[in-house]
Structure formats: C-alpha cells, structure tokens
Chain A
C-alpha cells in the first residue's frame, strides 16, 4: 500500500516502513537502546533526505523512550535528581544542535556532516564496545573476576551533589557536560544517544546499573521531544505521518526484542551491539569514499509565487 509522505514529498510503501520500524524496535528492545542510529540510516537508504530523516526520527525515539521510561518509573529505576541535572545540559545541547543543523543545511554541508558524524561516532563506539565485550567474554571463559572499579579524577571536581536514589555523591559539572554533548549530537544525527550515554554513565560517572537505563531514557525522551519541537519550528522538516508509522512499528517490535534480549548473556549482547554499531559506521564510511553516481545535486529553495 503506497502512502504519500507530506513533508518528505515521497510516496512510500506503508508495510516497508512498518517493517523497518518493527525491526529497529526489536533491536532496540533487545539492547535497551533507542535505535535512532539504525532508523535514521535506514530511512536515508530508502530515499528520504537526511534532513527529514533526522527530524522525524526524533519523535519516533521520543515515543519508544516514553514507553520505556514509564515501565522503569513503575519499578523505581529512575533517579529524578540525576535526570534533572542531565536535562539542564541536554536541553541546552539540543538547542545548540538544532541551530548547528540549520546553519549546516544552509551551507549545503548537512548531509556530509551527518555522514561524517556517523562514521566517527559509530566506528569509535562500536569498536570500543566490541573489544570490551570480547575481553569480558574471554574473562568469563577463564573464570577471572572483573577488575574492581576505582574512583577517578571526575570525582575530584567541585559542586558536588548527592543523588539519593542512585546512592552516589558526584559533581554536577561532568553530568551537565554529558547532557550537552548527548543533546547536541542527538539533534544533528537523529539519535537518542542511549548507546553512548549508558556506557558513559556506567564507566565515567559510576552510576549504578539499577538506575542507569531508566535515567538515560528520561534524558532521551526530553531531548528528543525538544528536538522534535525545534526541528518543527525552525526547519519544518518533521514528517508526522512517517513518524507515526515508525512509532507503531517500533513500540511493537521493542516488546518482542526485550523478550529475546533476556535470553542472551550480557557480554554476548554487548559484543553483538558493538558489531552492529560498527557495521553501520563502516557502511557510512564506504558511502563517503566511493564515487557517487552523480556529482551534482539540486536543492529547491522554495517556490516563489
């Protein structure tokens, strides 16, 4: 069934988009991530312009992270204090990100920047996660215990604050900075940033695993809502019809993914996720290096009546 997307200005097959939403939802439910880093590239590959893809995926991630956050809230697995401090940075970062997005689009370098960010971020995070998962897997094979965590320089910073539910005593400076960075790249790349945020919170901020996913989902939810709003107001690029199809597919797929995820061990899960992220990054890298079929592109600057 063909449906005309009003903002993307493109007819698409509804079932194809639904299936894409469900597939990405499955992966995101399995690994407990938003899945934006998979959804945005998939949309670009079926012919939707990167700008529309990034702006529309933001609302899709908001929907899936909201349903996730609700269930974590019921389990009291969200730290409200930590979430609010993260949000201060997150909202600022998102606003900066949307502003940069608009500037880059005017310069004609937006598509390149999206592709470059994907290559750099995904190959780095992907290979780190992959090697870490591999090491953990080998450790369990040998039967050794994971090295004990020690305090690092982050914990020497001033402006310390007590986060009760997470049971940590931490400076707000690194928390706000993490929020800004995640918000900024999220708005430019059309990702929630969960797959970067969760490792940072665990390894750098030493947030206990009990609250880390729920809290990161709150940050994702709010930054993506803000990104949706700002993209809609400044660039008029949010395709609500596309977003709705993705949401319906995504939330359904996520439920099955979550069940599948419980059957796999943590190290293997991380290894798989690392591999997946790495392959998306490499896919973008290849795209940049090989010669495009057409060197010229046209962009319409709006019909003048």
Chain B
C-alpha cells in the first residue's frame, strides 16, 4: 500500500514537473553531401513553453542537446611492441555505438545536475553508454578504461565526437539556439537529436527531433555500385584500365 502511494506521489510530481513544453526545429532536416562538401553547421532553434502550472519562481533553465548519428559496430585495436616492431595485439569490439555523437549544453554538465542524474540521463561523453563485447559479455566499462577513452579520443580528433558545455545559448530566458557542426567526413544516415530541459538540477521535460544526411552525385553512385554490384563495378574498372592503356599506346605510338 505504501509502495503504491509512493508511486502515485511520484506520478503526480511528475505531471506537475511537466509543466513546460519544448518546441524545437532544425534549420535543415535533409543535409545533402555533394562532391565538394567540406562540412557545415546546422542550427537547432527552440523555445520553452510555460503553462499555468509552471511554478512562478522558475525562471532559469538548463538545456542539454544530444545528437546521435547512425549506429555501427566498431573495433578498437591497440599496438604493442613485439619482437622489436609494433603489432596490433589486443582489441575491443564496440557494438551499435553512434558514428557521430555530440553533447551540447549552456553551462558545464556538473553545474546543471548531479552526477547521479547525469549518469542516468547519459549526459557527457563519460556517461554515454558505449557497449563493448568483452570476452563474450556485453557491457560498458568504467569511463577511464584504456580502450574506451582511446575510442572517444580518436573519434573526437576526427570531429565525430564532441562535447561543448557552452554551445547552447539562451537568447531570452526561454528562447534558445545551438549549432550542430558536421565535419567533411560525416557518416550518412539518420541523426536523432534529444533535447533535455533541466531546472534546479532536475530533469523537467525532454523532446526529440531528427535530421538525415544523404550523399548525392557521382561519388555516391560509385560508392553504392561498388558495394552492391561488386562484379559489374570490377568489370567496369578493369575495362577502364584496358581502355586507358590502349589509348596511351595509340597516343604515344612511336612508329
């Protein structure tokens, strides 16, 4: 009985806490990657809509935006010196991890909420779930695990993983914007955006939106043909080689 009452209380508190509503939009829902694409920046706009149940004293909000690119399996390998040369020895497989991951907020994550909530809501690169296969088990490991931190470091170097605690700006107390930088070698697919609103360290509400990245043009045609019609692609490449060689022997014929 007491458990039920507690549950009911939580539910009520929950509905009271959902007094705000988030309205967001991305500047472009379909990004096309052309041959001379060199990266770009999307803009996410949004506002916090209050209603009658919103506590009057609640004025300062915090916002955390998570952008998650298409998921893929990846392998991280570590080199070690063996017999005087550097060889790949140990490796870890990361399962269904985001190929692009960005975490943005208006102030440092630790100032927004408690470590406990940050961990549960996967706020910060250290808290995002990155499932590894460790000798048959599926689990995420401690944030300072060598393979996990190397993985995040390498992805960050390529601009594919990023966290920026000052990327979100509040234009007015309820109107906000943030840029989503996309590097030149951005993975194609569907990107999910999660927007979480915090007030006084507690999660108030959240919403989701998405955009997609598609490659167009000749490059994409070549890449898809190579993957889907390997035989025809191989034949075409071989024919191209013969043509080039034949033409060269005609152009540069000495006799």
Contacts and interface: CB of A to CB of B under 8 A. Distances in A.
Do A and B interact with each other, yes or no?
yes
A77 B91 CA distance: 52
A243 B237 contact: yes
Contacts of B147: 296
Contacts of B202: none
Contacts of B236: 240
B61 interface: no
Nearest to B34: A4
B244 interface: yes
Interface residues of B, number: 61
Given A232-B233, A292-B86, A303-B70, A64 B245 contact: yes
A174 B245 CA distance: 30
Contacts of A111: 88
A247 B246 CA distance: 11
A7 B223 contact: yes
A63 B86 CA distance: 35
B245 A251 contact: yes
B124 interface: no
Given A291-B86, A298-B154, A7 B226 contact: yes
A248 B240 CA distance: 11
Interface in A214-228: 224-225, 228
A244 B189 contact: no
B249 A232 contact: no
Nearest to A254: B248
B52 interface: no
A94 to B, nearest CB: 13
A89 to B, nearest CB: 20
B234 A228 contact: yes
Nearest to A74: B255
Given A62-B238, A298-B75, A299-B75, A112 B87 contact: yes
A6 B87 CA distance: 29
Nearest to B96: A304
B70 A247 contact: no
B136 interface: no
Nearest to A115: B85
Nearest to A235: B230
A303 B99 contact: yes
Interface string B39-60: 0000000000000000000000
Nearest to B87: A112
Contacts of B72: 300-304
Interface stretch (B9-17, B76-84, B163-171): B76-84
A303 B248 contact: no
A179 B157 CA distance: 45
Contacts of B231: 229, 232-233
Nearest to A294: B154
A150 interface: no
A304 B184 CA distance: 21
A241 interface: yes
A6 B226 contact: yes
A298 to B, nearest CB: 5
Interface in B241-255: 241-242, 244-246, 248-249, 252-253, 255
B96 A301 contact: no
B237 A300 contact: no
A224 B248 CA distance: 18
A66 interface: yes
Contacts of A5: 219
A194 B232 CA distance: 28
B74 A300 contact: yes
B154 A62 contact: no
A236 B233 CA distance: 9
B80 to A, nearest CB: 8
19 contacts: A7-B223, A63-B242, A64-B245, A108-B75, A112-B88, A228-B237, A228-B238, A229-B234, A232-B237, A234-B230, A241-B222, A247-B241, A247-B244, A254-B248, A296-B76, A296-B79, A300-B72, A300-B73, A302-B73
Interface of A: 2-7, 9-11, 59-60, 62-68, 70-71, 74, 108-109, 111-112, 116, 224-225, 228-234, 236, 238, 240-241, 243-244, 247-248, 251-252, 254-255, 288-289, 291-292, 294-305
Given A112-B85, A240-B233, A299-B75, 17 more contacts: A6-B219, A6-B226, A62-B245, A63-B241, A109-B87, A112-B88, A225-B238, A232-B233, A232-B234, A236-B226, A238-B233, A255-B248, A295-B79, A295-B150, A296-B154, A297-B88, A300-B74
